[in-house]
């Protein structure tokens, strides 16, 4: 599931055995007489009703694709592939190019991953391998709570707490010591690409760490014992025995996090500055694909304007789908696949 | 787990100082990582409570927003709007989600089932803003105006895949012997599925539904151009409606201090409701109070 932290409840399985006595004997008593006529029809009806629900899921995705393609055709015919490489976004003259948004989405997501991946793996390693057993549950629950916080609340917090902190402390510091890289130029607004990257990082950590925990738990216990028996320290055991075997799954988790970061809308919209400019500096404001849709969709006055925004949505849809499928495949190879190999 | 299996004497084995330092460093780094991750969590909650609690009062919970510049007013209509939209979303999404889950678990052990399973996972990964575009095209354009129904449809689309997969997972945990026992008594298959399989899996299914609910309860992006927001009371599903998350967003990006104050209060109420739902489900499923539901 994409939203791992929310979507993968660790609940105890239902307790069927105790209930079976109650459940199997219906109160009104089913006639033991085998009269197939009615129940046969009812079975068919039930089957088709459930099938209809299943097909509904299929139809929904079909509908999404159909809607996005038909509603973006106007812009597609006008600009073709060049839509994604042009930097001009001029609703007045109906000239649209999505490059600044693509750039903003990619840069903010990569920035988020750079910050989040080490943290997420550290969290997963600590929870699965290092922390005392009694602390495991609460820690796992607390980190997953991060995934339950709505995006708009992250945005609110980022505007009023993170932004000012960045402006006053972190950004001047970065400019003084890392200004020579050119990545930290210009006035420290607090609002901008860096703020978006940081807030996205906080949001994707629980996703990456919950998948990482899952795949690390899938590594057999004997593997750990074997590596320890060879005289490894705990860290060497984790590195060679666990992380190395789980790396495909961890990569899957990272890519899943990327999928989330690419499509994240509200928090980013609130702190990225919403200016369609391409700047090398991370302190400068930017714009992402999701934010431009959020900000301009209900104000789009002309058909071509609306169509251009839908095309941005279509591109976002395609990219996140590919990213999510890739991630799922990688996670499956670890959790459902063959047992981990010792020299993997 | 590993803890108990590591012999304590291991640390006294002749391990080089460099390796030992690396080991300590790694432990420290992992500890630092978890502290760094929990820090924002603590900061967000602390700030929400600090800024929000002072602004929650009777007026906030019972009044509609006042015009800019006037103090007071509240988000009562937004809370009601959220209830309306989430009600529509649940009414549409829960039956379809559970139905699809039943199909996958009871009839879907084949190629077509795999296709639906895969599609549900795809749907789960679609960005919420894209769902908003689709709901706009489906409902808003056909109706001709923004509406609570459009918002509900958008959120329902987001709920379905989560519920479907949770229902399937839980139904698969029900042992087949139970179904066979039921068939043996001459109970038809549909009745077996509903009264035996689904009933046994109830607590798990409820968990799935609540998690899906918690996930969409705070969603804002798909509501921006579907429910749209409203400054007044609205109980009609065909009219634009305020929602708590939307109102928090509008107020947060506004330049007015009074609105900022209310944004924090709205956010606190929103998160309180979500955390309440999530923990209630956790506790209920852990201690089995729902297993008899």
Closest Cα partner for A126 from B28, B41, B25? B28
Contact list in B for residue A52 (CB cut-off 8 A) is: 99
Query: Which residue of chain B comes nearest to A264, CA vs CA?
Result: B127
Distance from CA of A53 to the nearest CA of B (A): 5
Low-confidence ranges of chain A (pLDDT < 50): 1-25, 27, 338-344
What is the structure's pLDDT at A145? 83
User: Can you tell me the mean pLDDT for B91-109?
Assistant: 94
| pLDDT level of residue B60 (50, 70, 90 thresholds) | confident
- CATH for A84-335? 1.10.3720.10
More confident residue, A15 or B176: B176
What is the structure's pLDDT at B46? 93
Q: Where are the alpha helices (DSSP H) in A13-132?
A: 16-24, 36-79, 99-125
Is some CB atom of chain B closer than 8 A to the CB atom of A41? no
Residue B113 phi/psi, 5-degree rounding, is -60, -40
Distance from CA of A339 to the nearest CA of B (A): 18
Q: Break chain A into its structural domains and give their ranges.
A: 84-335
Say yes or no for a CB contact (<8 Å) between B249 and A64.
no
Tokens of A203: 């949001």
Closest Cα partner for B270 from A261, A155, A274, A191? A155
In terms of C-beta density within 10 A (0-12 exposed, 13-18 middle, 19 or more buried), how is residue B64 classed? middle
Is some CB atom of chain B closer than 8 A to the CB atom of A135? no
What is the structure's pLDDT at B234? 86
What is the structure's pLDDT at B287? 61
Q: Are A294 and B129 in contact (CB under 8 A)?
A: yes
Distance from CA of A90 to the nearest CA of B (A): 21
More confident residue, A37 or B261: B261
Residue B135 has pLDDT above 90, yes or no: yes
Contact list in A for residue B255 (CB cut-off 8 A) is: none
Tokens of A39: 């129940």
Say yes or no for a CB contact (<8 Å) between B125 and A321.
yes
Q: Closest to A68 (Cβ–Cβ): which among B133, B166, B252? A: B133
| pLDDT level of residue B13 (50, 70, 90 thresholds) | low
pLDDT in tens, B143-153: 888 999 999 99
pLDDT in tens, B206-228: 888 888 988 899 999 999 999 98
Q: Which domains does chain B have, with CATH numbers?
A: 73-229+236-287 (1.10.3720.10)
- C-alpha distances out from residue B278 to A336, B41, B272, Å: 28, 16, 10
3-state secondary structure of A89: strand
pLDDT in tens, A287-322: 999 999 999 998 888 999 999 999 999 999 999 999
- DSSP-derived letter for residue B271 is H
Contact list in A for residue B267 (CB cut-off 8 A) is: 152-153, 156
3-state secondary structure of B202: helix
In whole angstroms, give the CA distance from residue A216 to residue A253. Answer: 11
C-alpha triplet A324, A327, A328: angle, nearest 5°:
90
Say yes or no for a CB contact (<8 Å) between A15 and B291.
yes
pLDDT in tens, A19-73: 444 444 454 555 555 555 677 888 999 999 999 999 999 999 999 999 999 999 9
Contact list in A for residue B221 (CB cut-off 8 A) is: 151, 265-266, 290, 294
Residue B80 has pLDDT above 70, yes or no: yes
Question: How many CB atoms lie under 10 A from the CB of residue A81?
Answer: 7
Is some CB atom of chain B closer than 8 A to the CB atom of A67? yes
Q: Are A98 and A75 in contact (CB under 8 A)?
A: no
């Amino acid at each position: 599931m994409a939203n791992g932290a929310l979507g993968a409840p660790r609940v105890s399985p239902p307790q069927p055995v105790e209930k079976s006595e109650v459940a199997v004997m219906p109160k009104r008593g089913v006639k033991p007489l085998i009269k197939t006529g009615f129940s046969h029809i009812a079975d068919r009806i039930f089957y088709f009703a459930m099938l209809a629900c299943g097909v509904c899921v299929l139809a929904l995705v079909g509908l999404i694709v159909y809607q996005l393609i038909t509603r973006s055709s106007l812009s597609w015919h006008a600009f073709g592939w060049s839509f994604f490489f042009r930097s001009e976004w001029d609703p007045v003259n109906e000239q649209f190019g999505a490059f600044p948004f693509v750039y903003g989405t990619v840069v903010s997501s990569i920035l988020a991953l750079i910050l989040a991946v080490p943290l997420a793996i550290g969290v997963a390693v600590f929870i699965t391998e290092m922390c005392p057993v009694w602390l495991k549950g609460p820690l796992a629950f607390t980190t997953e709570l991060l995934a339950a916080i709505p995006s708009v609340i992250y945005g609110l917090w980022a505007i009023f707490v993170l932004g000012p902190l960045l402006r006053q402390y972190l950004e001047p510091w970065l400019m003084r010591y890392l200004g020579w890289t050119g990545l930290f130029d210009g006035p420290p607004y607090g609002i901008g690409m860096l703020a978006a990257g940081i807030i996205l990082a906080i949001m994707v950590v629980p996703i990456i760490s919950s998948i990482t925990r899952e795949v690390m738990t899938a590594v057999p216990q004997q593997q750990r014992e074997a590596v320890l028996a060879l005289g490894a320290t705990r860290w060497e055991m984790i590195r060679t025995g666990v992380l190395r075997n789980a790396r495909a799954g961890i990569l899957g988790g990272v890519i899943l996090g990327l999928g989330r970061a690419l499509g994240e809308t509200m928090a980013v919209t609130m702190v990225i500055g919403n200016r369609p400019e391409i700047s090398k500096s991370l302190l400068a404001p930017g714009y992402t694909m999701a934010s431009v849709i959020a900000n301009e969709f209900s104000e789009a006055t002309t058909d071509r304007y609306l169509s251009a925004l839908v095309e941005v949505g279509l591109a976002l849809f395609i990219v996140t789908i590919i990213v999510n499928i890739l991630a799922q495949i990688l996670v499956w190879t670890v959790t459902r696949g063959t047992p981990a190999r010792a020299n993997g | 787990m590993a803890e108990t299996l590591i012999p304590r004497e291991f640390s006294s084995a002749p391990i080089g100082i460099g390796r030992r330092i690396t080991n300590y460093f790694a432990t420290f780094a992992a500890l630092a990582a978890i502290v760094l991750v929990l820090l924002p969590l603590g900061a967000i909650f602390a700030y929400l409570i600090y800024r929000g609690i002072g602004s929650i009062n009777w007026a906030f919970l019972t009044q509609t927003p006042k015009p800019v510049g006037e103090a007071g007013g509240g988000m009562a209509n937004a809370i009601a709007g959220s209830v309306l939209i989430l009600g529509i979303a649940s009414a549409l999404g829960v039956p379809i989600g559970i139905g699809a889950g039943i199909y996958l678990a009871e009839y879907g052990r084949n190629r077509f089932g795999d296709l639906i399973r895969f599609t549900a996972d795809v749907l789960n990964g679609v960005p919420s803003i894209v769902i908003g575009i689709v709901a706009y095209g489906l409902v808003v354009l056909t109706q001709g105006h923004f509406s609570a129904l459009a918002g509900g449809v958008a959120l329902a689309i987001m709920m379905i895949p989560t519920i479907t997969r949770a229902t399937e997972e839980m139904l698969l945990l029900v042992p087949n012997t139970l179904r066979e026992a039921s068939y043996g008594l001459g109970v038809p298959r549909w009745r077996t599925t509903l009264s035996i399989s689904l009933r046994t899996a109830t607590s798990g299914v409820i968990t799935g539904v609540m998690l899906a609910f918690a996930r969409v309860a705070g969603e804002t992006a798909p509501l921006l151009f579907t429910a749209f927001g409203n400054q007044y009371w609205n109980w009609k599903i065909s009219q634009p409606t305020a929602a708590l998350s939307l109102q928090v967003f509008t107020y947060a990006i506004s330049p007015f201090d009074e609105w900022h104050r209310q944004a924090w209060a709205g956010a606190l109420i929103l998160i309180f409701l979500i955390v309440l739902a999530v923990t209630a489900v956790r506790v209920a499923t852990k201690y089995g109070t729902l297993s008899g539901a």
